[in-house]
Amino acid sequence: MGKGGSPRGRGEWDRALPGLSETEGAEPACVSECWSLQLGRLGELQARNGVASSLGRRVGREGSSDQGRERCATEEEVSREARAASLRNLGGHTTGMLVSALLVLLFCLRGHAGPSPHFLQQPDDLVALLGAEARLPCALGEYWGLVQWTKDGLALGGERDLPGWSRYWISGNAASGQHDLYIRPVELEDQASYECQATQAGLRSRPAQLHVLVPPEAPQVLGGPFVSLVAGVPANLTCRSRGDARPIPELLWFRDGIRLDGTTFHQTLLKEGTTRSVESILSLTPSSADDGATLVCRARSQALPSGKDTAITLSLQYPPVVTLSAEPQSVLEGEKVTFLCQATAQPPVTGYRWAKGGSPVLGARGPMLEVVADASFLIEPVSCEVSNAVGSANRSTALDVQFGPILQARPEPMSVDVGGDASFSCAWRGNPLPRVTWTRSGDAQVLGSGPTLRLPSVGPEDAGDYVCRAEPGLSGLGGGAAEARLTVNAPPIVTALHSAPAFLRGPARLQCLVFASPAPDAVVWSWDEGFLAAGSQGRFLVETFPAPEGRGGQGPALISVLHISGTQESDFSRGFNCSARNRLGEGGAWVSLGRRDLLPTVRIVAAVAAAAVTLLMVIIGVALCCWRHGKASASFSKQKNLVRIPGSSDGSSSRGPEEEETGSGEDRGPIVHTDHSDLVLDEEGALETKDPTNGYYKVRGVSPPTSPNSCVTPLQVKSPGIFNLP
């Protein structure tokens, strides 16, 4: 087939099949009629060939009956030639008919699917930018009739320049079937559905939708181009894009070319459903470092991929930003220090406040503070608070003050069962950090260093006081020691105390000392026929009371006393057991009662009394001699060997004249009580005393003078009655 679509060798088709040309261009409904006509013609030709064949056979049969052998042979040869010719004719006609039938079939098929008008190219959906040019292609084959375009079903016209549509025209080679629709410049009203139609062939293209893109306008940031914010206060920045941008633009936030997160997107629609505006809200909490920062809101879409930007500048109001310094930062205790408080703020600073350890420093108002450093500045920092109209800010700093050790936590007493672990802790504060050592009270050996002392598996021998000691610092100040007692819980330790010997049938007192931690449940005295823990029982009485001071680390001490009234012989021969029990066990000790005899005691007392009397007599004698030394010789000679022993207890002795003149009640000596062994009778029956001075003084008992004025009275001796002899 050529470019024009005409069948190749069309004259041959007309000659082979007369009347077939009339069917060209017919509709497919005529195919069956055409096909029946041609089959009829083929049947007629076959019938003609059959008649010829039968005639040849009949002529052969007639010749064979009347002629001779020679004629028969000639006729047979002629017959064979005739049959061969008939067969050739029949074969030729049959072949011709078959070819004709095939040609008819092809012609009928050509009439159904042949080169009828059709689309070579149809328009597709198109996206065009507002103001640009749009082209919708359309190409037809085997069609040279009228072509037109429709817009939303409205025909634009059949002329190629499309009168009445100034921005529309049809372009392309019409002879080759090209009918493209052009629109320039594209406007919003051009957004529609377009079709290319071949009206005479009844052909319509598929609809093609033209979409018009409208670039977004530059967005607007509310409050821009300078937005005032408060540092530290959350804020929202709103970027808005208005207009008929298509599609809906995307609003993005940037800072220094970096996209910011934390935005929300919102769009507002008109009643008819078209977009009126879109908004993007950026939530942020600015800081003082954001003052003067530039933020960009960008609106972009498919119509404008690069987008349009709107920039704003942040203007921040912020509370003071404070810097606090100390000069010098490291000092010795007692040195001066200057603190300097500097601040930047918008709006400006309105006031300063100073504090130390949270307590205001009275009188400090400006940006500078001078103090004398001590140890408290290490743990109680100095703070400076600066204020302005927006708010306030506070900064603090601690000094590096060097000072000697100060005890912060004393070690606590501990009570541990025997075999358990014990530990003590103490805390010293100092700068530099003091060295802490542990010793036992009264012992210089260092048991450990550091804030904690651990004693594993303690025994009774570990009980006692432990000392936590810190050495003085570089300044020589501070330091000291703190003690704590370790009590080892163990079974009671009972010790018998010394008890004084007792007289038979007299009172007795037995004592024991009990050390126990924990304290014993009771202290029990037991003997052969009984026991007693407290109170009285017959001749026995038990008292238990705390000792004045316990033994270090062995728990509180108790003294238990067993009183016995009216001792018996058996009390001196048996033992008394003092025992105590606590939750860890039991301990006890045996206590025996010593006996005291009466006679040796009386002798000792008598000897002591005699010695005392003798000494007293010597003193009195010396005093009397000295007192009488100045008297007349006659009077002195009469009584030189007499020593007056002051009168009896009833005061019946008489005085001499001299004594009455010079003596007084104070001159009487004390009554001397002596033992009977100090007195003996001489050969005349006179009472004579032993001379305890071995003759130094002559002491004699004389008869009372007949004169009533004599100063010497008979010696009256009385038994002292100190002891009751058995």
- Locate the DSSP E strands across 250-335: 250-255, 258-259, 263-269, 275-284, 294-301, 304-327, 330-332
Angle (nearest 5°) at CA 478 between 436 and 356: 105
Nearest in space to 517 (alpha carbons), one of 555, 574, 561, 557: 555
Position 216: which residue type? P
Q: How far apart are CA 367 and CA 351, in angstroms?
A: 9
118-213 and 490-592 share one fold: yes
Q: How far apart are CA 674 and CA 614, in angstroms?
A: 10
Q: What is the pLDDT of residue 605?
A: 78
Collapsed DSSP state (helix, strand, coil) of residue 394: strand
Collapsed DSSP state (helix, strand, coil) of residue 476: coil
* Cβ neighbourhood burial of 469 (10 Å; 0-12, 13-18, 19+): buried
Q: What is the pLDDT of residue 261?
A: 83
Q: Which residues of the chain have pLDDT under 50?
A: 1-75, 78, 82, 85-87, 90-94, 96, 99, 103-113, 271, 632-634, 636-726
Q: How far apart are CA 545 and CA 561, in angstroms?
A: 9
Q: How far apart are CA 223 and CA 237, in angstroms?
A: 8
The answer to whether 338 touches 332, Cβ cutoff 8 Å, is: no
At the fourth CATH level, the homologous superfamily of domain 118-213 is Immunoglobulins (2.60.40.10)
Q: What is the pLDDT of residue 606?
A: 80
Q: How far apart are CA 707 and CA 686, in angstroms?
A: 20
Please state which CATH class domain 405-488 belongs to. mainly beta
* Domain range list for the chain: 118-213, 215-327+340-370+384-397, 405-488, 490-592
With residues binned 3-state (H G I as helix, E B as strand, rest as coil), the percentages for the chain, rounded to 5, are 20, 40, 40
Q: What is the pLDDT of residue 239?
A: 92
* Cβ neighbourhood burial of 22 (10 Å; 0-12, 13-18, 19+): exposed
Q: What is the pLDDT of residue 350?
A: 93
Nearest in space to 181 (alpha carbons), one of 124, 119, 129, 130: 124
Q: How far apart are CA 51 and CA 318, in angstroms?
A: 125
What tokens appear for 227 in the block? 């937005």
Q: What is the pLDDT of residue 332?
A: 86
Q: How far apart are CA 616 and CA 629, in angstroms?
A: 20
Q: How far apart are CA 417 and CA 656, in angstroms?
A: 85
CATH of domain 215-327+340-370+384-397: 2.60.40.10
Collapsed DSSP state (helix, strand, coil) of residue 553: coil
Q: Hunting for tokens 């060209």 — which residue is that?
A: 24
Architecture of domain 490-592: Sandwich (2.60)
Q: What is the pLDDT of residue 74?
A: 44
Backbone angles phi, psi at 607, to 5 degrees: -60, -40
